[in-house]
Amino acid sequence: MTGEHELSVRPRSDDDLDDLVTVLHRVQAATGYPVQMPPDPARWLSSSRTRESWVAVYRGGPIAGQVSLATSDGDFATDLWTRALECSPSEIAVVKRLFVDPPMSGRGAARLLLGTAVSEAHRQGLVPVLDVDASSERARLLYERSGFRLVGTKELTWSGLGHSFRAACYVGPPPPVPPVPKGPPPALRD
């Protein structure tokens, strides 16, 4: 996929993890995401719940950011999402680990990565959902402008770390409606 400023998105590979850990440390220092840096960032990025991940790259250069889609198995907000959507956990895909290197922020990478994850969830017949630190106004604005709807907040406590925060929980936009063909239905045409 290409977009503004020669931005492309491709599937993430294991070879990307070292670079992504470096980027994640810069993101955490600049923005506070993740709220608590995991002890093993590469493992955190490669959670067993991960379905797929993508990276954004500018002009074939260094990695600008990444996003993942995951199952909702064991997610703290699954009950909130499934109640709001009136669906089962198997019908949702959790958008996770979306971040962009601070020097490359503001160029459309987050929007393109999010769009990639949402499109893939829809392609699989799933509803995209996500949670974000409720105090992260910039991230919340991105999600809301991308069609995500707030369905509630929940306190998230990381066991063993003694740290908690309020998470805003969102359900994603519905899949696009295919265009209606112009003219009479094909069966009525001669």
Tell me what pLDDT residue 3 has. Answer: 45
Which pLDDT band holds residue 187 (cuts at 50, 70, 90)?
A: low
Task: Assess if residue 185 is contained within a domain.
Answer: no
Task: Assess if residue 8 is contained within a domain.
Answer: yes
Tell me what pLDDT residue 185 has. Answer: 67
Tell me the DSSP string of 146-181. TT-EEEEEEEEEETTTTEEEEEEEEEPPPPPPPPPP
**CA–CA dist 97, 77 (Å, integer):** 15
pLDDT higher at 142 or 189: 142
Model confidence at 1: pLDDT above 50: no
**CA–CA dist 147, 114 (Å, integer):** 11
State pLDDT tens for residues 20-29: 999 999 999 9
Provide long-range contacts, Cβ within 8 A and 24+ apart, for 159-166.
Answer: 161/36, 163/35, 163/36, 165/35, 165/133, 165/134, 165/135, 166/133, 166/134, 166/135
Q: What is the extent of the structural domain holding 30?
A: 2-129
Tell me what pLDDT residue 179 has. Answer: 76
Nearest to 55 by CA among 93, 27, 19, 30: 19
State pLDDT tens for residues 9-66: 999 999 999 999 999 999 999 998 888 888 999 999 998 899 999 999 988 788 999 9
Task: Assess if residue 78 is contained within a domain.
Answer: yes
Provide long-range contacts, Cβ within 8 A and 24+ apart, for 24-28.
Answer: 24/99, 26/101, 26/102, 26/103, 27/99, 27/100, 27/101, 27/102
pLDDT higher at 2 or 114: 114
Element (H, E) at 143: helix 137-145
Task: Assess if residue 144 is contained within a domain.
Answer: no
Model confidence at 5: pLDDT above 70: no
Domains identified in the chain, total number: 1
pTM: 0.88
Task: Assess if residue 182 is contained within a domain.
Answer: no
Task: Assess if residue 187 is contained within a domain.
Answer: no
Task: Assess if residue 65 is contained within a domain.
Answer: yes
Task: Assess if residue 164 is contained within a domain.
Answer: no
State pLDDT tens for residues 125-162: 999 999 999 999 999 999 999 999 999 999 887 665 56
CATH at 57? 3.40.630.30
